[in-house]
Chains A and B, each alone.
Chain A
Amino acid sequence: GENVEQHPSTLSVQEGDSAVIKCTYSDSASNYFPWYKQELGKGPQLIIDIRSNVGEKKDQRIAVTLNKTAKHFSLHITETQPEDSAVYFCALNDYKLSFGAGTTVTVRA
């Protein structure tokens, strides 16, 4: 499947601070970039997505940016809260989802 590299693998932030997760990909034909959040014991849940004709998308405290030229996209979480603690996955959708390795985010109270 499509190769997606995700960094960092773990991220610890103080409550209220921002968290940023970055992903890079190799297939320039990729056009859709979703982000999933996975809580313990649950399946991944779609939290935000972006299409290739858009450079940035926001939804309350989360935002995603896309740089197609550089082939990378990022997830930004602002004003982090304890409930943001989870594993986050970037993915590409080329008629099937290819996931990054995941980032474990811990928000310290």
Chain B
Amino acid sequence: EAGVAQSPRYKIIEKRQSVAFWCNPISGHATLYWYQQILGQGPKLLIQFQNNGVVDDSQLPKDRFSAERLKGVDSTLKIQPAKLEDSAVYLCASSSGPNGRVDLWSGYTFGSGTRLTVV
């Protein structure tokens, strides 16, 4: 099966500019996640979607970050305006449980990520 697709692979922007990342999960996976991975750290969850609804966005800096998953398939993550501390790899992952619900035992499939550098 095709993996999780993300674009772009790299992005360099100046602080206060805006940027958007795109993710196409594995076909049929109802749950989609965006993670932020700062250099030298483990990934940190930003937002979790179940189909096109938000399940958890408690760690999303909502004053500057937004995300949507229209039609329950593709998703976009936007940062506006960007700060220097937003420099990181943004990872998208998807998973599928029984009947399309979140499954505690399901492994996640990650995309290769988008490396964002804010200068």
Contacts and interface: CB of A to CB of B under 8 A. Distances in A.
- The answer on A and B forming one complex is yes
B107 interface: yes
20 contacts: A6-B42, A42-B112, A42-B113, A43-B4, A43-B91, A43-B93, A44-B91, A44-B108, A46-B107, A46-B108, A49-B107, A95-B104, A96-B45, A96-B56, A97-B35, A97-B93, A99-B42, A99-B43, A102-B40, A102-B42
Interface residues of A, number: 25
Contacts of B41: 101-102
Residues of B in contact with A, size category:
20 to 34
Contact of A101 (B35, B42, B105): B42
Contacts, number: 57
Contacts of A44: 43, 91, 108, 110
Contacts of B44: 1, 99
B47 to A, nearest CB: 10
Contacts of B43: 44, 89, 97, 99
Contacts of B108: 44, 46, 97
> Which 8 pairs across A and B sit closest by C-beta, in order of nearness?
A43-B110, A99-B42, A46-B107, A44-B110, A43-B112, A101-B42, A95-B102, A99-B43
Contacts of A42: 112-113
B76 to A, nearest CB: 18
Highest count of chain A CB atoms <10 Å: which of B41, B43, B59: B43
Interface string B38-69: 00111111001000000010010000000000
Classify the interface of chain B: helix, strand, loop or mixed: loop
A42 to B, nearest CB: 5
B104 A93 contact: yes
Nearest to B110: A43
